[in-house]
Amino acid sequence: MKSHSKQIFDALQYNRWGWVVIPLHYPLLNGKCSCSKPDCPSPGKHPLAKWKSVNGDLLPEYRVQTGEDIKRWWSEHPNANLGIITGQISGIVVVDIDGKEGEHSIRDKELPSTPTVVTGRGRHLYFKAPDFETKNSVCILPQVDIRGDGGLVVAPPSIHVSGDVYKWVEGTKDLPLADLPPWLRQLLKPKEKQKDTISQPATGIITEGNRNDYLTSIAGSMNRRGMSLEAIVAGLQEENRSKCFPPLSESEVRDIAKSVSRYPSEAPYEIHKKEHETDVSSFLRPGGVSERVELVSVGNLFLKGFYSVLAGQPGGGKSLLMLKLCDDLARGGIILNGYARSDPMRTLFIEGDYPKNMMDWRIQRMKLSVPFPAVQFVYKDEFLSDGLALDLSSAKGYSNILELARMSKPDLLILDSLASLQFKDENDNSAMKTVCLSLSRLAKETGSAVVAVHHLKKVKRSERTLPISLDDLIGASMISRLASSAYGVQVKEDEDGQLHIVKNLKSWVNPPGTFTFRTKNTVSEEEELELLLDVTPFPEESNSTGKVRIINTIRAGHSQEPFKRSIIARETGISDTYSKQVFQDFIGRGILRQIGHGKATMYELVQ
Ligand SMILES: [Zn+2]
């Protein structure tokens, strides 16, 4: 028979009692917390994994738990401490009495016999949860805290960072839970809700001299509720029109909203700096690499843990390509019609430009299944209609995206598009730096390959066939500078439909390559338009067609006079890098002859 650890034994028992358990971090032998943060504020006392959703609810994987879950958690982390979620969910409220001062606070209070834990420094008294909400509250009396709804308590047989073991007081574990004593019940019972304290005269009309304060106060409360700047502006405009006399101008109202939402909506990178608490020496690393380092790519296109950029003209097929990619990744195996082979992977698609029905329409047209749960979508317009932020340029918007990613656990996280999911000036390098650092951080914190879908500069129709480069990405150069890879999608129209050329513009690890895919609008029997996506991998590099195209182009139009390589590259649509390789090859084989050097280099066909 397999023997279980003490943690599993106790956790299963608590679970049978209807208590919701959760694995916690634990103290290491060196006295540090297993979370390995040098300045962990509650060592050995906080959950191992994310446990709450955006709105503060316990995540479903903990809310509904079986014995098998519990065994799995502690066989993955045999040393994990054991926590119990307090409040209505487990039917318990715990009074946490800390040290001598805490004991002093309750010295003449009535406390019935009830299950009690000694913690080393103090005591935890377990009571039956009352019929009202008991919020987690700190210091209801000096050094006495309440662990109620939304909280948790560290339970036996956990180990305290001091080395003390959490233990049931002899003979109390099997006692029935006592009701809260009357004095404590009185103390915890919620008072009558107080009205919002925004001052508003009896007439309901806000006159000159009070309008700014009034609107600022409303904007502040909207901001605290996590509403986006757009939602705050809309709410204030309405308030301004209906209550202020005379109303402020629209731009004044907008300025108020901006001034309020500036705090704390700076980029997360900025506000999470804690220089005063950080010992920089903990960042000093010895040289040498002991373990094999593996960089994991998604579909051989994007690196996990980093962000990439996929840029193209509007309507260039960027989103279609990403939809096809996540559909293929869901199943794994051959992806993008042979472009790469991949294990099954999960995608979170954050759509900032289109609503759900438009995306569904595209998915149906492409005959994709985008199966749940491997593919999950978030639509920005649904967030906006709830007044919530979903952008990389505010702290709240960022934390919402991070929260979604933590719940969905994607390998690939698509942000379509960068422009719709951030509000800073795209052309301002320093503004974009914070956005790009947010992208990097998002990739690092989630371990996902983050892909920002981006735009190329508008070009004249006649220039559309020119090979694109990083310079063609719209906005600040910072966007591509901090990216681990960047791709550009170009479109060529021909009699078969549209040919999309996907060119690797930059990569930290992979050699640059190019592949194409094709979209067609065909008319089926139901006279419906059909969108086909047919990916051809590396048309130039994988076979000899690129070379054939180059030699045919030279023979057809340049056999009489010397020519520049760039002209041939342009006429064939073949990349600079690849045409250079082909030319070297042709010179080596005596097909071409080089004339001159440097910028003036010309070539001629050897007859
Ligand atoms: Zn910790």
Q: How far is CA 10 from the centre of its chain?
A: 35
DSSP annotation of 517 reads E
- How much distance in Å is there from the Cα of 113 to the middle of ligand 1? 33
pLDDT in tens, 364-415: 888 889 998 899 999 998 887 777 888 898 888 898 999 999 888 999 999 9
- How much distance in Å is there from the Cα of 38 to the middle of ligand 1? 8
- How much distance in Å is there from the Cα of 368 to the middle of ligand 1? 43
C-alpha 228/C-alpha 250 separation (Å) is: 17
pLDDT of residue 531: 58
- How much distance in Å is there from the Cα of 32 to the middle of ligand 1? 8
Architecture of 543-605 per CATH?
Orthogonal Bundle (1.10)
- How much distance in Å is there from the Cα of 80 to the middle of ligand 1? 12
- How much distance in Å is there from the Cα of 44 to the middle of ligand 1? 6
- How much distance in Å is there from the Cα of 160 to the middle of ligand 1? 12
- How much distance in Å is there from the Cα of 24 to the middle of ligand 1? 9
pLDDT in tens, 345-369: 999 999 999 999 999 988 888 888 9
104 by Cβ neighbours in 10 Å (0-12 / 13-18 / 19+) ranks as: middle
Return the CATH number of the domain spanning residue range 5-188.
Answer: 3.30.2250
- How much distance in Å is there from the Cα of 76 to the middle of ligand 1? 18
Q: Which two tokens stand for residue 435?
A: 């956005």
β-strands 206-207, 244-245 pairing? parallel
- How much distance in Å is there from the Cα of 47 to the middle of ligand 1? 9
- How much distance in Å is there from the Cα of 30 to the middle of ligand 1? 13
Q: How is the chain split into domains, by residue range?
A: 5-188, 206-279, 301-532, 543-605
Q: Does domain 301-532 have CATH number 3.30.420.40?
A: no
- How much distance in Å is there from the Cα of 36 to the middle of ligand 1? 6
Helix or strand holding residue 566 (H, E): helix 565-572
- Rounded to 10°, the helix 576-588/545-557 angle is 80
- How much distance in Å is there from the Cα of 159 to the middle of ligand 1? 13
pLDDT of residue 39: 80
Question: Which residues are CB-neighbours of 430 under 8 A, at least 6 positions away?
Answer: none
- How much distance in Å is there from the Cα of 33 to the middle of ligand 1? 5
The reply to whether domains 301-532 and 543-605 share a CATH topology is no
Architecture of 206-279 per CATH?
Orthogonal Bundle (1.10)
Helix or strand holding residue 94 (H, E): strand 92-98
pLDDT of residue 597: 85
- How much distance in Å is there from the Cα of 141 to the middle of ligand 1? 27
pLDDT of residue 534: 58
Q: Where are the alpha helices (DSSP H) in 409-489?
A: 429-446, 478-481
- How much distance in Å is there from the Cα of 34 to the middle of ligand 1? 6
C-alpha 60/C-alpha 63 separation (Å) is: 5
pLDDT of residue 524: 52
- How much distance in Å is there from the Cα of 54 to the middle of ligand 1? 21
C-alpha closest to that of 97 among 144, 52, 152, 50: 144
Are the beta carbons of 13 and 157 closer than 8 angstroms?
no
- How much distance in Å is there from the Cα of 39 to the middle of ligand 1? 8
pTM: 0.48
- How much distance in Å is there from the Cα of 22 to the middle of ligand 1? 15
Q: How far apart are the first and last CA of the chain?
A: 84
β-strands 602-605, 592-595 pairing? antiparallel
- How much distance in Å is there from the Cα of 271 to the middle of ligand 1? 20
Kindly give the parts of the chain with pLDDT less than 70. 1-4, 191-204, 225, 261-279, 282, 290-292, 338-339, 459-467, 494-496, 510-513, 520-546, 607
State the residue for tokens 């690939």: 412
C-alpha closest to that of 379 among 343, 416, 407: 416
- How much distance in Å is there from the Cα of 181 to the middle of ligand 1? 34
- How much distance in Å is there from the Cα of 272 to the middle of ligand 1? 17
- How much distance in Å is there from the Cα of 83 to the middle of ligand 1? 14
